[in-house]
Amino acid sequence: MGKIFNRAISLLKKLISLFIKFDTYDIGTSYDPPASFADKLIRYFYARLYQKESFDLRKQILKQYFGASLLFHVKRAIRKLKLGQIPIRIVFIAQEPYTWRVMESLYRACLTDQIFKTYVVNSEFLWQKGRDDCSAFLAKNNIEYLDGFNHKIRFDLLNPDIFVLGSPYDVYRPDHHNPASLLRYAKIVYIPYGIDFGTKVERENKYWFGNDTQKNAWRIFSRSNKTRYIYKKYCGVSSRRIVGAGLPILDQYASGASSSVLPEAIQSASAGKFKILYTPHHTVDGWSTFLRYGAHIRELVEKNKDCFLFFRPHPSLIVRLIIDNLMSENDFYNFFSGERCYLYEGDDYYGLFQRSDMLISDASSILGEYAPARKPIIYLYREDGWDLDDSIRDDILKGYYVASSEDQITAFFLQLKNGDDPMKSERERRQENICKGILNGGAGKRIARYLRNTLA
């Protein structure tokens, strides 16, 4: 009898040991102690599900989207019974300050809801100018994070349910933060970094909408359900995986918070003047009109002494101009130097939107992102360019001041400077078609509510 009892105790110890640790696989006691035995049990089964065998991305995607295991249903049932005890674990991958702003309002919404357990991992952004990360920004804003820039984070210790990514471009992320690696541990949620629309040129749409992050996302929270066809065509994503909840990046504009992005000297110099925000695109062969109208816009500001220009080019514009031998770096920076002009190369446009009185822009995400400012917009249209896709084309062409010549730019410029904005009501009506909640925000809360209702 004693031998049987001892053997039973031995087996029980082995079972407990198995639940706590299997070989070198830790189920989460380091970063986040389990809340209950049920939590520990589900962690063990769920987190190990795709790590017990060699990883095959195609096999994983098929399993994830076309079938759910019995363990998934067990896990979901226990979540419903243990609501608040077994939280939905969400990991936000923050590459640099801009991609953080893309997901920040969702993070804030999850942080205030006990059903979510949130983590922020500081990754890196591999850009033309070198490596960038988000550590200084996160520290400045008192956001706790795990340092994935200098260390490789053990995601198995976090036992995540969801990874949130704010950039589709895998080439700008380290390999261990790309879909093939992340899908070993959890589903991926992708949030577009701006107003997601395309062109009439297929090769560009394939680049913008055909990345692994988008193809393999469990859900894409897009600006509107109107984008479903373009994701399906160029990304092969079914309509059920596209949720038109609006974009969290726009929530900061609706929050009413102030921004100190502009230096005090520039704020003083531009005070009392009509301030124009000019945002040329980088695609000199597609959407950009910088080489056509840049000099004319600068001349208009020179002639009108009551005006001030905020020049915010796409970060890749100068790179493209230099590579194509269209303009030297020196000439580019001198182009908009001088009085009543300020070149801004940062990633926080919010302050520019707040302080400007009008936007002049090529086709770009800023055509939509500027909407919460409720100020007039001149769209620089290229008849020989890429055009806009059908999900947004009519709303832009019929709701904005569309200029395709210097004379039209001048006429709209002077009209709007004098306060004559007859398209205001139609513009705001059209903008509401472009993106859900574009004028009032709330996207982060809508997405959090969707995740809660779907996963909890």
Residue 338's pLDDT is what? 80
Residues 166 and 77 in one domain: yes
Whether 447 is in a domain gets the answer yes
pTM: 0.81
Average pLDDT over residues 421-439: 96
224 vs 59, more confident: 224
Residues 241 and 267 in one domain: no
Whether 178 is in a domain gets the answer yes
Q: What is the pLDDT of residues 216-234, one digit of tens each?
A: 899 999 999 999 999 988 8
231 vs 258, more confident: 231
Q: What percentage of residues in the chain have a pLDDT greater than 90?
A: 51
Residues 225 and 340 in one domain: no
Whether 283 is in a domain gets the answer yes
CATH classification of the domain holding 145: 3.40.50
Whether 253 is in a domain gets the answer no
CATH classification of the domain holding 350: 3.40.50.2000
Q: What is the pLDDT of residues 356-384, one digit of tens each?
A: 999 999 999 999 999 999 999 999 999 99
Per the structure, how many domains does the chain have? 2
Residues 267 and 183 in one domain: no
Spatial CA neighbour of 427 closest among 391, 402, 390: 402
Residue 455's pLDDT is what? 81
pLDDT at 18 over 80: no
CB 120 within 8 A of CB 143: yes
Residue 75's pLDDT is what? 60
Q: Are strands 162-165 and 146-147 parallel, antiparallel or unpaired?
A: unpaired
Q: What is the pLDDT of residues 162-188, one digit of tens each?
A: 999 999 988 888 888 988 888 888 889
pLDDT at 313 over 70: yes
Most confident of 58-67, 257-266, 351-360: 351-360
216 SS3 class: coil
Query: How many whole angstroms separate alpha carbon 339 and alpha carbon 302?
Result: 8
Residues 312 and 236 in one domain: no
